[in-house]
Amino acid sequence: MSSLYHEAGIDLGPSRHMLVISRLRKRLVHCHIDSFDSYTGILANPENTLERQAVIDLLSTNETYFFRESDHLEVLRSRVLQTHPRGQSLRIWSAASSSGEEAYSIAMVLSDFCGYTVDWKIFGSDVSKRMVKQAQSGLYPMQRIDAIPQDYRKLYCLKGIGKYTGSFLIDSRIRDRCRFDLVNLVKPLPDLGSFEVIFFRNALIYFDDQTKESIIRRLLSKLRPGGLLFIGHSESLKRMDLPLELITPTTYRKTAAD
């Protein structure tokens, strides 16, 4: 699966061998082949971009939930929202957004703090096309609502009825401020503009050291000097020579242009 490593940077070492086999077996059936060697040949063909995307969707890890590591949102309030000039726009990137819960959690905080007169926007991206589509819908199973603070549930979550019973929809005022798209962080980034804040949490653990540093440098190229980068509590940027100042555990400020 070396072609997949180069495509998405996903570490598929020996410890994940059985996981890979179990998740990809359905693709062999879909392609009407009976061996992984033949399937590897299909993935190696540069024209088979749709098949490689299908594999990325199957193998990427998408564990997420609303208001995960909520202490980061408190740092966002105190160190960004309270000091950001009211007349200036504010752009935040949820760079491993999965199915969108992180981006919408951030949006709820911004809506509560800034209202809608301030020009704030959130961009969410993921390597999985399936996850991006879920995020764009803003529709979630009702059991996921428990992690959202009660006040925010009343303001920003619409309980589904009819065929949507058992689901809830993020309010359009929030959805209209959020945009989601497919971005592969191991490849050159598209023209995304720049951001005051980037969240990249609980994703570094899936990459080797060389890929980790390469991804962080790509992210920093889109982060404005003085902007904040958030990573997950189980992650570290140690031994990376980066223009970053540690603010709180897992929170960094960009000190200079990279």
Which residues are known to be catalytic?
A: 23, 126
The candidate with the shortest Cα–Cα distance to 73, out of 230, 214, 181, is 230
SS3 154: helix
Q: How many residues does the chain have?
A: 258
**For 68, which DSSP code?**
T
Q: How, if at all, do strands 167-170 and 195-199 pair? A: unpaired
- Within 10 angstroms of residue 60's Cβ, the number of other Cβ atoms is 18
**CA separation, residue 40 to residues 59, 111, 136 (Å):** 15, 47, 31
142 contacts: CB under 8 Å, gap ≥ 6 = 159, 160, 166, 167, 168
Distance CA 153, CA 151 (A): 5
> DSSP characters for 22-60?
HHHHHHHHHTT---HHHHHHHHHSTT-HHHHHHHHHHHS
Instruction: Compute the half-sphere exposure of residue 28: CA atoms within 13 Å on the CB side of its CA.
Output: 14
